[in-house]
Amino acid sequence: MGKRAGLRGKVIPVLTIILVIAITVTLFLCRDRVGELGDYGYLGAFLISLVGNAGVILAAPVLPVLSAIGIILYSVTGLAGPVIVGLVGGVGAGIGEMVGYAVGQTGRGVVKNNKMYLRLVVWIRRWGAIAIFILSMFPFFFDVVGIAAGILRYPFWKFFLACWLGRTVLYVVFVVLAALGWEAVLGFFG
């Protein structure tokens, strides 16, 4: 039994790292094609957000693409279009961010001495889901938060819930403001 647990403890982290590298390389190679998913409306918004947030460290253009989808749908559905884009984008983001969490579950070696990581560990230990919720509204470094939460063995469901809610707030606000701003610009020049 001990040999089996030891082997599993070595194989699962290696497979997780390989999966993360594969996702990141695929995102990098296909980064120009991500925008094409926008043609699929709400499903496209979900997939863009899922794929864009699954990449660890490598940023994908999620907010601009979701905003473009929201602007297009605003002209057809009114305010409901951008709100729904933000909602489905938030769900995709919550699921996608589980990749960073999984990287953290595999071990501490990835970010052990990073100053930002050490600060995040303190925040997550002290404020838990509130810190994750607030930090998830800052799109560019959240992967490190997921890694830190995974390393700390922060409860998966709490991490997912806080991340999903924070990203949903970010996406709904951003996409709605983009749609309203675009409408204002068109009204000014039209």
pLDDT value of position 145: 86
pLDDT per residue as tens, the chain (190 positions): 455 555 555 665 666 666 656 665 665 565 565 556 556 788 889 988 888 888 776 666 788 889 889 988 888 888 999 999 999 999 999 998 888 888 888 765 555 667 777 888 889 999 999 999 998 888 667 888 888 898 888 999 999 999 999 999 999 999 999 999 888 877 777 6
Question: Residue 167 in 3-state DSSP?
Answer: helix
Q: Would you list the domain boundaries of the chain?
A: 2-189
pLDDT at residue 108, as a whole number: 57
Please tell me what DSSP assigns to residue 138: S
Q: Are 170 and 97 within 8 A, CB to CB?
A: no
Residue 175 pLDDT: 93
Helix ranges (H only) for 38-114 are: 41-54, 62-77, 80-96, 98-106
Residue 41, pLDDT score = 83
Find the farthest-apart pair of alpha carbons in the chain and give their distance in angstroms, rounded: 73
**What is the distance between the alpha carbons of residues 179 and 72, in angstroms, rounded to a whole number?**
8
